[in-house]
Structure 1
Amino acid sequence: MLNLLNKILCYPKFNEEEFKKRLEEFHSLGIEDILSDGKIKINDFKILGKGTNSLAVKAIYKGQIVALKIRRTDSSRVTLEEEARILSKVNKFNIGPKLLNFTQNFLVLEFIEGNFIEEFLTCENLNQVKNVLLKLLIQCRILDIIKIDHGELSRATKHVIITKNGDVKIIDFETASERRKANNLTSIISYLFLRPEDPFKLRERLGINIDDLKYLLRDIKKNNSEEIFYQILSKLNIY
């Protein structure tokens, strides 16, 4: 297992001193095992995801399956602790994967099983689609209210998972910030409804008047009120 760990914990460039430090962190977290599972391969080991700053692998923690996020050795970020702080804050509103433990280089997260938003939106059951969209927009509204900008919801393809029970999970708060203006609601609406090609056919399926929607989005940028939010939900025909 040690040979495997040095390839995963110190990806992409192995360093003996860094590996010893990370191995100590890894053991301090209480991780019992890491599992080869996922659609991406690194050195013949399957992982859940790979980004410019981190990897995500399936692991065993306190007898349960979790997602372990690992900071890459070539990451521009010196720590994952800021992401942990943001997650602990949004978790209070039942948003994001539950943060179970963390160190400088690792996050132990609830493992979320389901379909990414693009896969889910092929669902033919319009009531299910409406229910999920409502949950997603409410979560984005909450993030705006608590002034945390996710940063990636205008490109939400791999950042929203829908579980088998129809729960909505916004994931990957790596680029989230409290220092810039929170635009989660307008970002996700642009992604879902305003792209020229309308990839999910939501404008057609929900009977949305695009001009009315754009007008309300301009309004909510100026006045982030609950009244305008519910007007938007009404125009989207999901409330």
Structure 2
Amino acid sequence: MDSTGLTAVSVAEILQSPHQRLLAYPGDVVGCDRISELADLGVTAIYDWGPKQIQSWHCLGLGYCGLVLLVQCQGQQIALKVRRTDASHASLAQEASMLTLANTQQVGPQLLGHSPNFLLMDYVMGQPLLAWLQGTHSWTRATLQSHLTQLLWQAFQLDQVGLDHGNLRCVTAHSIVTSQGPVLLDFSSASTTRRPANVTTLTQGLFWGTTIAPLLVPHWFHPDIQPCIERLRRYKHHPTTKSFQRLLDLLFDR
């Protein structure tokens, strides 16, 4: 979806309309704390735009922890994550910390600012991975290999800094394919207190037992599961660049 040429609705105007509920979803009234946080972050307007629709307003995404809106901040189009009022997380501080760590490895959208109830991030424009795979566009086997390798490399980088994403088995809901390649999203379940399993989880999510795996078969051989399990096991015990590369060699038959 192309967001150029859109008209932004000012925050002041939204706060005087029923759409203010977007900023306190699924509640009805925006508290003074959230209004103050938006002002401090520099958010001046919100766009009615995105693939999801909530209360007659379009947004970029909706999850258990929050919804994501396209907003205007310092004249730029930015993604704003709004903490749901019924979320189990008391604030978005933990997610901000995890995304900051991921950004040190050039993984995830760049965090631009945060408060207890909001995250400001680079707007990642593209298609969800599943939609990209199902699309009518023509992509080559080389492009497919490149994108899957990039996803696995991002998972490897997270493993190296001890950050477990937590949702990579369902990577279709947590990745966007941009013109430069795929980007991992949503670090709401990420943690540094459990053993990271990003590469092993993502490999299983891509190649076995998910909605993605059957889509790869016409364009890819289906990796023999037993040898892959062996290499995943070796990687799990010794998550080095060498063991990771050996896994890639087997997955992509090179």
TM-score normalised by structure 2 residue count: 0.87
Question: 1:75: Cα distance to partner?
Answer: 1.1
Per the alignment, residue 212 of structure 1 pairs with: 227
Residue 188 of structure 1, aligned match among 202, 211, 227:
202
User: Once superposed, what is the RMSD of the aligned Cα atoms?
Assistant: 1.9
Per the alignment, residue 230 of structure 1 pairs with: 245
Question: 1:168: Cα distance to partner?
Answer: 2.1
Question: 1:207: Cα distance to partner?
Answer: 5.5
* Structure 1: unaligned runs, 5 residues or longer: none
Count residues in correspondence: 236
The answer to whether the 8 Å contact 2:45/2:71 transfers is yes
CA distance in 1, matches of 2:130, 2:61: 17
% identical aligned pairs: 30
Alpha-carbon distance change, 221 to 56 in structure 1, aligned in 2, over 3 angstroms: same
Alpha-carbon distance change, 213 to 204 in structure 1, aligned in 2, over 3 angstroms: farther
The answer to whether the 8 Å contact 1:9/1:19 transfers is no
Residue 33 of structure 2, aligned match among 14, 21, 25:
21
Residue 169 of structure 2, aligned match among 154, 159, 173:
154
Partner amino acid, structure 2, of 1:188: L
Per the alignment, residue 3 of structure 2 pairs with: none
CA distance in 2, matches of 1:203, 1:43: 40
Deviates more, 1:65-74 or 1:202-211: 202-211
Deviates more, 1:149-158 or 1:112-121: 112-121
Asked if 1:47 is matched to 2:59, the reply is yes
SS of 1:46's partner is strand
Partner amino acid, structure 1, of 2:157: I
Question: 1:73: Cα distance to partner?
Answer: 1.0
Per the alignment, residue 99 of structure 2 pairs with: 87
Question: 1:130: Cα distance to partner?
Answer: 0.6
Deviates more, 1:169-178 or 1:82-91: 82-91
Question: 1:202: Cα distance to partner?
Answer: 4.1
Partner amino acid, structure 2, of 1:173: F
CA distance in 2, matches of 1:102, 1:59: 14
Deviates more, 1:63-72 or 1:205-214: 205-214
* Structure 2: unaligned runs, 5 residues or longer: 1-12
CA distance in 2, matches of 1:88, 1:152: 17
The answer to whether the 8 Å contact 1:87/1:173 transfers is yes
The answer to whether the 8 Å contact 2:47/2:70 transfers is yes
